[in-house]
Structures are given as structure tokens and as C-alpha cells.
Amino acid sequence: MNQLQQTPEAGPEGSTQMHRVLGLPNLVLFGMVYMVPLTIFSTYGIVTEITGGRLPVAYAITLLAMLFTARSYGLMSKAFPVGGSAYVYTQRSFGANVGFMAGWALLLDYLFLPMINYLLLGIYLNEFFPAVPPWAFMLAGMLLVTILNVIGIVSVARTNIVIIGFQFLFIILFIGFSIAYLRGQGNVDLMAPLRGTGELSGFAPLAAGAAILCLSFLGFDSITTFAEEARNPKRDLPRAILLTTLICGLLFIALAYVSHLVYPSHQFENADSASIQVVFTAGGQFLSIFFTAGFICGAMGSALVSQASVSRILFSMGRDGVLPKRVFGYLHPRFKTPTYAIIIVSIISLTSLFASLEMVSAMISFGALVAFSAVNLAVIKYFFLAHRQRGAAAAFNYLVLPLIGLVLTIWLWTSLSALSLVIGIIWIVIGLAYLAYVTGGFRRSAPMLDLAE
């Protein structure tokens, strides 16, 4: 069941089958690279100020919320072990048209995440090499990422190992320097990172901070897009999704806790660069330079995996015929990668040369939360309603838990800015217009992925 059927228009050799070379460790690495272990430092100052210094507690709340949605992704990836993520899951649960709109919203997340990484790459490298304009670094990063993705998923997996290794080396050094620094400080209040101060001691500041931190967890869903390159997708995808979410969540909590011990304040001169103050306090100039290098590696890795992910979503939609099949449904005969889709994503990423971090972040937030909501609903529809799974255990697994995930996701929606909602609604309207064109004014359903039963 659920084995992908071949279609005759996929490429010169007529094959739509990718190489199944990814095991559980590779899938976890993909998710971790996408999420970027050092992403905690990108919002450290902002959320620390909001929560009154309780960043680790806010991360714990967000991790709890994300685990419910990650579980829903795991259930659907086991039922449908093919590429496409929320697009396929919603399509098979609610029909082709609703599935298309879920996939269209998901593209916001995947198309714009490479952009935000290229922006960060240009900003950080320009700080060290001011004579070189940011756009030059951004273009170089795009070219390298595109080449690695075209060559194949094995090259991406090997690069991931190097990137994750470098980031974990920094984490080890940071913790080591922090312990040495704290030993020289005498008495250290170990409960300080768990307590708020004054008016920031209640739950409301924690909730506000936790809502922002959901951006740190964007990435566990990217694992599902590599279903057709996994050796045992039904077994490994659900495990990889939960493992990635849990490992990164615990890592975020630990780094937030240690960081606040090193720099026990929730007030900064510049919240955007607060992480530099923390790192410099722990290890001076050496650790600050190492941190910048690690952050750049993380941005490159996230761009690499996010481009690979979105190209596979586009490939799924192209193979269905929802997008032009000859372009988006094409696989390179040698590398077995969706070459045209990869190149198109790179071309779209060129708009990051003119975009702002605020606008790109707004697009990512909207797309991700739409996808999270859709997948939680898909679990209820597919398992509990369509397949009539009954009994107390089934109701708990396929109704209660995904419903909790949905409620928590809707709660996170309340934190979206007006800009996020405006841009997101415009994107949805464009998607509806295209769907109306494909379906002849909604007189017929959009094409669906052909899965053998």
C-alpha cells in the first residue's frame, strides 16, 4: 500500500523513483540542520526581554506545543510515505483542492526560508569583510547550495554532517567556557533563569515569548519531504520527526539556561545583538568569532536543506500535474534530483537581494502555521472520521491529541503580526486564483498524486 506509481513523463528515462539512501541518522540530521541548533541566539535578546529572563521556560512551553504537531506529522508520514509533506497529507484526507491550498500555503514557509538564511549570510559576513557587499556573499551561497542539491541527496547529507559537527563543536566550547566563567563568579543563582522579575513574572509574558519561539522549531516537518529517499520511510520518518523535535527542543532549553547564568539580565542595549554580549562574556573575542562562523554554517545548512525540501514539494505537485509536469515533475536521469525545481527555487531566492528580514519572517510564520493546522486536522479526518478508528485509545490518539495540537497552533496564530496576515492572505488569494484556472473555475478537482492502494 502507498507505493508510488511511475508516470511516463518524469524524465528522459521515464522514472519518477529517487534513490533510497537515507537512514534514520541522516533524516534526523536533515531536520536538525534545517532547524539550526544555534537558532536560539537569533531571538535570544528579544524573548529574554519579553519573558523577564525566563527564556528556557518559554522554550519548554513551545517544545510541548510542537510535540503534538510533530506527532501528527509522524502519523501521516507513516500512512503516506511519499514526498510532499502537508500537501500530500491534506490532499489524501480532504481532497485535491484543499490539499492544493495546504501545499500552496506551505510553499510560503519553504520558499522563503532559504531567503532568510541568505540574508543572514550576507549580513554576518559583511560585518567581517565590509569591503565585500552583502549581495556578493548571498549570490555565492545560492550558487553553492544549488550545485550541492543538483548533484544529489547524498552530497547534501554529507555536507550536513560537517555543518552539524561544526555547530556542536561551538556548543561544546560555549558550555565549557561558560562553566569556567561561572566558577570564577562565586555564588551563582541557579534558579534565576526560571524566575520572572516584577511585572514579567506571570504566565502572559511566557506565552508571548513562547509564541515567538515557534519559529525555532520550523524544520521537523521538512523531514517528511525526503520520504521517497528514505530506506524505510514508514518506520524512520515518524521516529526522525519526534527525535529531531525533542533533541533540538532540549538543546534550546539547555543553551538558554546556561546563557542566562552567564549573563543574568533581561535588559540589553540592543536586543538584536544580545547573543554577542552573552558569548563574549563567556569566552571573549575568540569565542565570538567562532560563534559567528558557526552561525554562518548554520545559515548555509538551513538554506541547503530548505531548498532541497521545497524542490521536492514542487516535484510532488508537478508530478501530479497541478504544476506544469514537464518542468516540475522532471528528475535528472543521472542524479535523480528534481533539477528544474531546484533551479527555479534558486531564481526565486534572488528576490532576497531586495527583501527585508521582517517581510521574509512574516511569510514563513504564516505558511508554517497553516501547514501545522492542516496536518493536525488531517489526522482527525483520515484516522478518526474516514477510517472510523474507535475505542478509547483511538479517540485519544486520533482525536484528542491532534485536537490539542490544533488548539495550540491556533493559539500561536494569535501572535502573528498584521504584516504576516496581510501577506499571507494575498498569497492565499493568488493560490485560489491559480486553482480556479487549473480546475476550470472549480468545475473539476485538481489532479491528485497516484498512490497504489
DSSP string, 286-298: HHHHHHHHHHHHH
> What per-residue confidence (pLDDT) applies to 175?
93
| Average pLDDT across the chain, whole number | 81
Which three cell numbers, joined as nine digits, stand for 169? 563543536
**Mean pLDDT across the stretch 56-73?**
91
Q: Decide: 182 and 262 in contact? Cβ < 8 Å.
A: yes
* DSSP letter assigned to residue 400: I
**Model pLDDT, residue 1:** 33
**How many H-runs (helices) and E-runs (strands) does the chain carry?**
16, 0
- Rounded Cα distance between 421 and 362, Å, is 8
Q: How far is CA 242 from CA 10, 57, 67, 73, 379, in A?
A: 32, 20, 7, 9, 16
- Within 13 Å and on the Cβ side, how many CA atoms surround 394? 12
Residues 6+ apart with CB under 8 A from 132: 125, 126
Q: Residue 18's pLDDT band (boundaries 50, 70, 90)?
A: low
Residues contacting 111, CB < 8 A, separation 6+: 310, 345, 348, 363
Query: Residue 326, Cβ neighbours under 10 Å: how many?
Result: 11
Task: Give per-residue pLDDT as tens, 120-156.
Answer: 788 778 767 889 998 899 999 889 888 887 876 666 6
More confident residue, 128 or 78: 78
Q: Which three cell numbers stand for residue 336?
A: 535523480
Residue 195 has a pLDDT of 79
Confidence of residue 326 (pLDDT cuts 50, 70, 90): confident
Of the given ranges (138-142, 171-175, 221-225, 284-288), which has the lowest mean pLDDT? 221-225
- Over residues 72-88, mean pLDDT: 81
> How far is Cα 340 from Cα 86, in angstroms, rounded to an integer?
22
Answer whether residue 168 shows pLDDT above 80: yes
pTM: 0.76
CB 41 within 8 A of CB 275: yes
Q: Are 24 and 240 in contact (CB under 8 A)?
A: yes
pLDDT at res. 257: 94
Query: What are the cell numbers at 395?
Result: 479517540
- Dist CA 39 CA 423 (whole Å): 24
pLDDT the model gives residue 376: 93
- 337 dihedral zone (left: phi>0; alpha: psi -120 to 50; beta): beta
List 4's β-bridge partners, or say none. Answer: 451
The per-residue pLDDT for 199 is 65
